Chain A
Amino acid sequence: MARALAAVWPLVKGCITGSVLGITVSDSVASVVTMDGASMHPTFDPQQAERALVEKRCLYRYDFSRGDVVVFRSPRDHRELMVKRLIALPGDWIQIPEKQEIRQIPEGHCWVEGDNAALSFDSRSYGPVPMGLLRGRVTHIIWPPQRIGRVGRKIPEGRIMPL
């Protein structure tokens, strides 16, 4: 019994060490997210299950820029992660064409929209999202191999007046 334990112990120790290091790296440096849904077409293709690199260094000081693709916990269900483009930062004025209104983003919140406006459930439905829900910024697509590349910034023309 003791010998079996002694044989397995290095393996168990290695697993625990590896998982602790992996969790720390995935929380503080970068992690991988799988894309699901058509709300970000054409930036992300809904047919192939694409994987993207999410960098977490931006969470230390919450320095996001307009036009970044961000990952955040859904305001409707905290277990779900959503990927949308951050259009406006706190204090900006944004024009919402569907409702023909202009809103100011409150302190500590941001406005997110999907690139595929017709199929996207975003801030136009649930309003500005608190920045505390943001979980990282998507910088690269890393799978499938033919789609590997940077994910750039894009700002819709003429809809935002920055502070």
Chain B
Amino acid sequence: MSGFVRRLGGIPWRSIAGDALSRVFLVAQAYCAVHVVDQHLCSLAIVRGPSMLPAMNLAGDVVAVDRVSARLGRVAPGDVVLMISPEDPRKSVAKRVVGMGGDSVTYLVDPGNSDASKTVVVPQGHVWVQGDNVYASRDSRQFGAVPYGLITGKIFCREAGAISGANILLYAWPHKLGHKQLAIVKFAEKDKVAPLLCCCVHGYIDVKFCKL
């Protein structure tokens, strides 16, 4: 019994505690460094969904987010931004900025069903955001202009996937009836691509992006 206590006394508790503390401190420093870089400099995110087709993939894309430009106010129309959703603060969404404060924005209210369009002036300190795929996107057309403070970063780089090299679009029509008739449309013909994306979202045709 007393031999055990003597062995306990022989263990260098002080230096072990000192070692442990310095290692915990190292882990804490690493965690803080990662947090600072991720929240204030540059970050990676996964975006998915149909609202930014064809720029972003339906199934998911890894993107790099620049936090510094958004904080400094260097966001301009045409940029794709990551922002906190005004409908649910726990969700982040990626949309394209169409107008800044003071701009006058004309948009199609419901392009799938009608040709009606409206014009609004964006209030100061707000931005007007829209998804590239206007047929399947919840954006400023539904929830109005968004305060600039909700923007968390500017998306500047996308992991190279199938879409970046695509220059043609294949579609099979009409797949529901069992007939497979393949047709090809060039990516560059934007006014032909948009209605096909609309049909794809409504479920009438299958669409595939390929490289010729």
A residues lining the B interface (CB < 8 Å): 17, 20-21, 23-24, 27-28, 61-62, 73-79, 106-109, 130-134
Contact = CB atoms under 8 A, between A and B. Distances in A.
A75 B147 contact: yes
B32 A20 contact: yes
Nearest to B83: A132
Given A20-B29, A75-B149, A107-B87, 13 more contacts: A21-B28, A24-B31, A27-B35, A61-B90, A74-B125, A74-B149, A75-B126, A77-B125, A79-B73, A108-B87, A130-B86, A130-B89, A132-B89
B41 to A, nearest CB: 11
A109 B86 contact: yes
Interface of B: 28-29, 31-33, 35-36, 39-40, 73, 83-90, 123-126, 146-151
A134 B32 CA distance: 22
29 contacts: A17-B29, A20-B32, A21-B29, A21-B32, A24-B32, A27-B35, A28-B35, A62-B89, A74-B149, A75-B125, A75-B147, A75-B149, A76-B147, A77-B124, A77-B125, A78-B73, A78-B125, A106-B87, A107-B87, A108-B86, A108-B87, A130-B86, A130-B89, A130-B147, A131-B89, A132-B83, A132-B86, A133-B149, A133-B150
Contacts, number: 70
Given A17-B29, A108-B86, A132-B150, A23 B36 contact: yes
Contact of B90 (A62, A74, A133, A134): A62
Is the contact region of chain B dominated by helix, strand, or loop, or is it mixed? mixed
A73 B147 contact: yes
A83 B28 CA distance: 31
A24 B33 CA distance: 8
A118 B20 CA distance: 57
A77 B101 CA distance: 10
Nearest to B143: A106
B199 to A, nearest CB: 31
